[in-house]
Amino acid sequence: MIVVAVVGPTATGKSDLALDLAEALSTPGPPAEIVNADAYQLYRGMDVGTAKVPPHERRGIVHHQLDVLDPLEEASVARYQASARADLDAIEARGARAVVVGGSGLYVRALLDRMDFPGTDPQVRAELEERAEREGRRALHAELERQDPEAAARIGPTNTRRIVRALEVIAITGLPYSATLPREEYVRPTVQLGLDCDRAVLDARVAARVERMRRDGLVDEVLRLARIDDAGVVRGMGRTASRAVGYAEILDLVGAAAGPVLHEGDEDAAFEAITANTRRLARKQMGWFGRDPRVHWLDAGSPTLLDDALAIVRAADAGTLPGPGEGPVRRSLGS
């Protein structure tokens, strides 16, 4: 059965559409189950700041890949791929339909597309990192350009971490790093629905969402998860979790305030930063998903959104949906 994926920028209503689709596709028909593809919704307790749908609002629909990591753990795309693909296998074995939903582009691609994760070699990586420190990252980028021009073109000369990783993969596999990059080739039949809206409308949606998070107790959630000790050290969140938009800004303000108490002025500044950074995140997500020609774009504010989405899914099921480059071009509103 064809997998349905709902993707796009934050604050466009992906979770609501996924729930609506899961209900509609289940009546009549086999049940639908939702698989999360948001990197931060994997974390237990990170609820308000990730706009996670509360259990009592999930309409009895089974959800997967929510609350599977402790905030101290580091998220891994490779681990997510293995676990979420196992969920897709189990859903298919039950005769059910999978509805994937999320805005973490790399996680979506890892789940849906052919994408390999070569192993690591700590010694090789350490040597490359030492060379980057000694010779400079541009020297390593020049080496990458000689060994794998395609990878060098995709990785900027200032991105030391990715340059080192690319050279590490080349060293341990003997293959170009570019051969391991995601390919636009589904591992199982899939249709992607992209949600987008006018930029001014999206900015307003982001502002409203951040204000709602403030009312719903985001500050208390962050401080509870962080478990900041008397020395101001965050004990309850690892590097990945603490970098999430909404959490990082509040932790920064707590550090600046030299204690786990935020005054009203501090909060105002933190939430202004959260709004600005969420808008930047939405632009980045739009850029990621907007480059994929397989996404069928829908207006998030359309009164016929569900019907439009169902029409695309039914056409995909029937084998009548035009592929990339066929039929009318469907672009995002932001393109």
**Amino acid symbol at 317:** D
pLDDT band at 231 (very low <50, low <70, confident <90, very high): confident
Q: Does pLDDT of 261 surpass 80?
A: no
Q: Is the pLDDT score of 104 beyond 50?
A: yes
Domain ranges of the chain: 3-115+190-198+288-318, 122-180, 201-285
pLDDT at 262: 53
Enumerate the known binding-site residues for ATP. Answer: 8-15
Which residues sit in the known binding site for substrate?
A: 10-15
| Segment among 77-91, 137-151, 316-330 with least mean pLDDT | 316-330
Element of type H or E holding 292: none
Is the pLDDT reported for residue 151 higher than 70?
yes
Q: Which of 275, 264, 283 is nearest to 199 (CA)?
A: 283
Using DSSP, state whether 14 is helix, strand or coil: helix
Flag whether pLDDT at 44 surpasses 70. Answer: yes
Q: Which CATH superfamily is domain 3-115+190-198+288-318 in?
A: P-loop containing nucleotide triphosphate hydrolases (3.40.50.300)
Binding residues: 8-15
DSSP-assigned letter for residue 190: E
* pLDDT per position as a tens digit, 278-312: 999 999 999 999 999 999 999 999 999 999 999 99
CATH architecture classification, 201-285: Orthogonal Bundle (1.10)
The chain-wide mean pLDDT, for the chain, equals 92
Closest C-alpha to 61, from 103, 124, 16: 16
Concatenating the DSSP letter of every residue in 194-252 gives EEE--HHHHHHHHHHHHHHHHHTTHHHHHHHHH-B-TTS-B-S--HHHHTSTTTHHHHH
Residue 329 scores a pLDDT above 50 = no
For domain 122-180, the CATH architecture is: Orthogonal Bundle (1.10)
- Tell me the pLDDT tens digit for each residue of 10-30: 999 999 999 999 999 998 878
